[in-house]
Amino acid sequence: MTSFTEENYLKAIFHLCENKNGLAVSTNELAEITQTRAASVSDMLRRLSEKELILYKKYQGVTLTEEGKSIALKIIRKHRLWEVFLVEKLGFGWDEIHEIAEELEHIDSKVLTERLDNFLGNPKFDPHGDPIPDEKGNMPSQVSFKLSEAVINTELVMLGVSEDSAPFLQHLDKLSLHLGAKLRVLDVSGYDQSLHIEINKAGTIHISKEVACSILVSKK
Amino acid sequence: MTSFTEENYLKAIFHLCENKNGLAVSTNELAEITQTRAASVSDMLRRLSEKELILYKKYQGVTLTEEGKSIALKIIRKHRLWEVFLVEKLGFGWDEIHEIAEELEHIDSKVLTERLDNFLGNPKFDPHGDPIPDEKGNMPSQVSFKLSEAVINTELVMLGVSEDSAPFLQHLDKLSLHLGAKLRVLDVSGYDQSLHIEINKAGTIHISKEVACSILVSKK
DNA sequence: ATAAAAATTTAGACTAATCTAAAAATTTAT
DNA sequence: ATAAATTTTTAGATTAGTCTAAATTTTTAT
Ligand SMILES: [Mn+2]
Ligand SMILES: [Mn+2]
Ligand SMILES: [Mn+2]
Ligand SMILES: [Mn+2]
């Protein structure tokens, strides 16, 4: 059995690896993301390694074994399914769900997960646009790029966000930037790289480079 | 903050107290219900007492303080709401939900609980007929008595069960004994006190005294 | 009223998860 | 290539929750 804590570590390793294209994750990175000290991480890595959930060479960072990856994907599946539930069924905003899903993701019942998935209509993406792995851990793929890298005047669709802090998501809400919105970059400032964009052919707004970097889009 | 474990102890004390009409609960009773040893219980009681969640005098048993009771009722509220969700929304049988609800009841989010309550239509009773406390901890009350104590030939409605083990509930399923069923006791055996009962004016069955003792009914 | 039995608590030990401080290894800069 | 800085690990301690075995208290039976 994997504990609540072990599951959080595996998930953190998975996410960090993902952002680094498979490169090994460092102790300090994990300490930061799990809100603990490096010493605690070292100790946990030793234990996860004994359980063969990670590949770990002292001082050389860590990656997941197949089994570790499989567990991480199951947690991520549950996290994202519960997020869909919270938004679609209970009417939560996308900025309010992360902490609750952090707890729900550890509920240990295969049949519950599969029934929930069905109840929700087998969604492929969560409310932040993140892909929901299937029972076997396969992620639906979706080609997307940062809004900040879009070609001017191209028709775009907003598919996701790469940050999910509440303040960021609330900021997007204020600007009416929701998943599915049709976007078009009208202009990029030469001074601060802020973007002037059109939303749903209706109005236009200005957004900072930082915001544009965290918005994921595809060509329409 | 109360831990997962502390919450389970408080809930156990609440339920045991309930069955004894407010009398103090013994260490051994708690050890049995929490699946631990008496020594572990003693230790936990010392800690809960320090937190002023229970009234505890060594060797004299334990009762809940108002605060302890309030926490226990919040957990029970969540347990029963999640049970309704599992049956009404996800299609689980009443025999499959207890263990899952044991985990879900510890999810700590007031707003989640209240939104779930609304989503479910503010149910007053769970799938086993047990009352769901409201936000303030008030239990809806319902007068019921054991089927084994019913007067012969009276019209009855099945309101709940006082045991919720899967084998017992599955046994009731096989006999088509569901909440809301209209029952009538036709006869009680002088030999083994087994009952001959009519269900929904449709058919009749024989049930043992033990089963009849765990079925709660009211006059129609 | 004593002794035996049962229930409960204490003592001492263990594991998981964490911490701080110190030691060791690796990386970076001169 | 060596020293300095940074990262990581180890050592030793702490807390929650559990256990077994022993001691203590309460209850029951003679
Ligand atoms: Mn989590
Ligand atoms: Mn998400
Ligand atoms: Mn529980
Ligand atoms: Mn129930």
**A107/B111 touch (CB, cutoff 8 Å), yes or no:** no
The label of the residue with tokens 């609540």 reads A4
B99 touches chain A (CB under 8 A): yes
Q: What is the mean pLDDT of residues A117-142?
A: 97
**Number of the ligand closest to the Cα of B7:** 3
Q: Say if residue B205 is exposed, middle or buried (CB neighbours under 10 Å; 0-12, 13-18, 19+).
A: middle
* Strand D proximal to A50 Cβ, under 7 A: no
| Mean pLDDT confidence for A159-186 | 97
Residue A191 in any domain: the answer is: yes
CA A135 – ligand 1 centroid, Å: 19
Contacts of B78 in chain A (CB under 8 A): none
Q: CB-CB: which of A91, A96, A107 is closest to B104?
A: A107
In a domain, B130, yes or no: no
- The answer as to whether B158 is a domain residue is yes
Domain presence at residue A171: yes
Distance of CA A56 to the CA centre of its chain: 24
Would residue A53 count as lying in a domain?
A: yes
B8 lies in which domain range?
4-64
Q: Which range has the worst mean pLDDT, A14-23, A30-39, B99-108, B113-122?
A: A14-23
Nearest to B183 by CA among B220, B210, B213, B146: B220
Range B130-150 average pLDDT: 96
Check CB contact of B115 with chain A, cutoff 8 Å. yes
What number of residues does chain B have? Answer: 220
Residue B28 in any domain: the answer is yes
Q: Is the pLDDT of residue A82 over 90?
A: yes
Place of tokens 């595996």: A10
Contacts of B73 (CB under 8 A, 6+ apart): B14, B133, B137, B139
How confident is residue B22, by pLDDT bands cut at 50, 70 and 90? Answer: confident
Tokens 């929701």 sit at which residue? A178
Q: Is residue B192 in some structural domain?
A: yes
Q: What is the pTM (predicted TM-score) of this model? A: 0.95
Q: Which of A41, A64, A87 is the last residue of a domain?
A: A64
For A178-217, give one letter per residue: b (16+ CB within 10 A) or e: ebebebbbeebeeeeebbebbbeeeeeeebeeebbebbbb
The interaxial angle of helices A4-19 and A66-84, nearest 10 deg, is 100
pLDDT tens, residue by residue, A18-62 = 988 888 999 999 999 999 999 999 999 999 999 999 999 999 999
- CA-to-CA distance for B52 and A181, rounded, in angstroms? 53
**Residue B200 in domain:** yes
pLDDT at residue number A50: 96
Number of domains in chain A: 2
Average pLDDT rounded to a whole number, residues A127-142: 97
